[in-house]
Structure 1
Amino acid sequence: MNHEMSQRALVEAAAEGLRRLADDARCQTAFTAPSSALRDMLSPAARRYVLAPDRAGFFEQSARLRAKGYRVSAEFTGPDQGVADSARAEGVVEEYLGLLAHEPAPDRIGLDLSRIGLAHSAEAALRNTGRIAASGALRGSEVVLDTDGPGDVDTVLAVLEALGGRYGNLGVTLQAHLHRTKDDALTVAGPGRTVRLVKGTSPEASDVALARGPALDDRYLDLAELLLDRGVRLSLATQDAEVLAAAKERGLLEHVQDIEMLYGVQPETLRRHRAAGRPCRIHATYGTNWWLPLMRRLADNPPMVLSALADIGLDRGPAGAPAHQLY
């Protein structure tokens, strides 16, 4: 038991270390520097979790995944770490508009408001979200707003409230670990509203959120039931095989819109659900600004650091093979 607890503590400490690396301004600056040695060294590991470096590659790889029966969401990682000025945010908006202009357009995109103007102003984020939602509505594409920590939740929900009545394709991600999420779910849930339910990964104080463990698993499933009862189009966005098994026992998997997993994370688990005839979605990031996605994927599962080091040591990532071969 002591060994088990010490291993758990080690993994938790490793996850915190990876989060600190992700958020460290010095690392971010080194990553975005021209001819960055850090980016070159880590790129084989990043290919495990990043579908493609550009829009053309995204469509090429996502077409192969769709041919195997998967739905594919798109999230652009951005040209660089900073979006503190309107010009950089405009570049991200233009990328999403170009993505939605493609034939066929992605059926869903994930939208981080911090990348489309929130760092500049809440008004800019609202305006740019409306532009993207309008384009998505014309193409039949869902636009799902992301939340990352309790500090952004109120702003995201305010944008949803302001635009949701005009754009029925606008949805939201809810984080089960936050104590406030049940109230938020009751506020946003309604027939036809798309909700992407995640456990949540950002570390928070105990008075703000639950830590990972059985209590969070139970809350996640209870929230899923609540949302389904209120008629939402629910994506169960989790890689946790035990939680998905419990959802199956509760009869939830028969009613969700899809089971969603991050690209490169537990592909064999998603493959089994797809083989069982359940609708499955891959949330795929693309672009060259993959420092945060890589560090966060590793922080979610610190033992995968060994796989990352092996990818670097072999000077190749598994995504060097066509994406459809992973699934």
Structure 2
Amino acid sequence: MLRSTLLWLSRRRAMLQFVTRRSLPRAFARRFVAGETLDDAAAAVRAVNARGLSATLDLLGESVTSSAEAVAARDQVLRVVDRIVADGVNANVSVKLTQLGLDLDPGVCRANMVAILERAAPSRLFVRVDMEGSPYTERTLRLFREHLHPRFGDLVGVVIQSMLRRSDRDVEDLIRMGARVRLVKGAYAESHQIAYPEKRDVDAAFARQAERLLDAGCCPAIATHDERLIAAAKRHVRERGYGPDRFEFQLLYGVRRDLQERLRAEGYRVRVYIPFGTHWYPYLMRRLAERPANPPSRGA
């Protein structure tokens, strides 16, 4: 019930406007969000790199309501790309397609995404297309399959949510393409017809899909704080004799710093997902909805 309520609140624009103007919620959000400015994000990346970890930067924002907003978001992401290159840090970029106009016009969204990839490509900077709620799954994958991956290859990747019933099929399709996949459980409220309602089924799907991606060898990102699933992935890698450069673990900023450090000390590649920006409220609500499984730490 609490999780459903938090996810419902994450979609309420009136709550967004109310909460983001108040200092206490903003201070709490700093546990999970690097800050509101690109300078804040750049500082967080440097701190993460200093600990021997890599990063991915996510400019928070989704579901823009005009082409002008989509273009503004594109330009902000271009500045993120430029800053990563200029600073010479170990980081890449994650982008949501609704932030670039997917709800408004697929052509506008595609053009904005291509502009970002064209800016990143000369520096071999990787860009990940984030996954959103299930109404966007097919549209996101279609754009990735038909336009982005054929042109930019391993410089662009996508995300699969193991909670969705369709994801086994999607994983197989992406493996055949040689696509780079980040595997997550999923943080959006979905119907039982679309997603597994029971945690055990989501966990089983995640473990199954992680093994397929690890075997395929397309540099997957195993993104979870669930230590049982992390242990299962490590066991599979060990049994198959795969090297640590075959994949990476990805963990959220502000969640389980101890786990980040332990995996790094064990020789695994670890990337920290660092969100930033003024549109932090929906992201924060989704993270709070996950807290029973992902207790926060005191740092990033």
Common fold: TM-score over 0.5: yes
Distance 2:289 2:258 in 1: 20
2:129 to 128, 131, 145: 145
- Once the two structures are superposed, what CA deviation does each residue of 1:227-251 show, in whole Å capped at 9, x if it has no partner? 2222311000111111111222222
Question: Could you tell me whether the CA contact under 8 Å between 2:214 and 2:247 is conserved in 1?
Answer: no
Question: Are 2:97 and 1:107 aligned?
Answer: no
1:82 deviation in Å?
A: 5.8
Q: Which amino acid aligns with 1:269?
A: L
Distance 1:23 1:106 in 2: 33
Q: Measured at CA, do residues 137 and 190 of structure 1 come closer, stay the same or move farther in structure 2, by a change above 3 Å?
A: farther
Distance 1:248 1:231 in 2: 14
Question: Match of 1:117?
Answer: 101
Alignment of 1:82-231 (within 5 A): 83-102=64-83, 103=86, 104=88, 107-161=91-145, 162-168=147-153, 169-190=155-176, 193-231=179-217
Tell which structure's C-alpha radius of gyration is larger.
Answer: 1
**3-state SS of 2:225 partner:** coil
Q: Which amino acid aligns with 1:224?
A: A
Question: Could you tell me whether the CA contact under 8 Å between 2:159 and 2:184 is conserved in 1?
Answer: yes
Question: Could you tell me whether the CA contact under 8 Å between 1:92 and 1:115 is conserved in 2?
Answer: yes
1:70 deviation in Å?
A: 0.4
Question: Match of 2:40?
Answer: 57
In the TM superposition, structure 1's runs of 4+ consecutive aligned residues that sit over 6 Å from their partners are: none
State the TM-score, normalizing by the size of structure 2: 0.90
Question: Match of 2:15?
Answer: 27
Distance 2:182 2:294 in 1: 25
- Once the two structures are superposed, what CA deviation does each residue of 1:164-208 show, in whole Å capped at 9, x if it has no partner? 111021110001111111111111224753110001122222221
Distance 1:199 1:247 in 2: 14
Distance 1:273 1:14 in 2: 31
Question: Match of 1:283?
Answer: 273
Alignment of 1:219-298 (within 5 A): 219-251=205-237, 254=243, 256-298=246-288
1:108 deviation in Å?
A: 1.8
State the TM-score, normalizing by the size of structure 1: 0.83
Distance 1:254 1:213 in 2: 30
Question: Match of 2:289?
Answer: 299
1:106 deviation in Å?
A: 5.7
Question: Could you tell me whether the CA contact under 8 Å between 1:51 and 1:284 is conserved in 2?
Answer: yes
Q: What is the RMSD computed on CA atoms of the aligned residues?
A: 2.2
Q: Measured at CA, do residues 190 and 303 of structure 1 come closer, stay the same or move farther in structure 2, by a change above 3 Å?
A: closer
Distance 1:260 1:298 in 2: 18
Alignment of 1:58-73 (within 5 A): 58-73=41-56
Distance 2:151 2:95 in 1: 17
Question: Could you tell me whether the CA contact under 8 Å between 1:197 and 1:224 is conserved in 2?
Answer: yes
Q: Measured at CA, do residues 99 and 228 of structure 1 come closer, stay the same or move farther in structure 2, by a change above 3 Å?
A: same
- Once the two structures are superposed, what CA deviation does each residue of 1:80-121 show, in whole Å capped at 9, x if it has no partner? x76110111111111111111121266321110010111321
Q: Which amino acid aligns with 2:152?
A: Y
Distance 1:241 1:181 in 2: 22
Most deviating of 227-236 and 153-162: 227-236
Q: What is the identity percentage for the equivalent residue pairs of Structure 1 and Structure 2?
A: 26
Q: Measured at CA, do residues 170 and 89 of structure 1 come closer, stay the same or move farther in structure 2, by a change above 3 Å?
A: same
Question: Match of 2:29?
Answer: 46
Question: Could you tell me whether the CA contact under 8 Å between 1:235 and 1:260 is conserved in 2?
Answer: yes
Q: What is the count of residue pairs matched by the alignment?
A: 291
Q: Measured at CA, do residues 199 and 212 of structure 1 come closer, stay the same or move farther in structure 2, by a change above 3 Å?
A: farther
Question: Match of 2:57?
Answer: 74
1:25 deviation in Å?
A: 2.8
Distance 2:59 2:90 in 1: 12
1:15 deviation in Å?
A: 0.9
Unaligned 5+ residue runs, structure 2?
Answer: none
Distance 1:98 1:24 in 2: 29
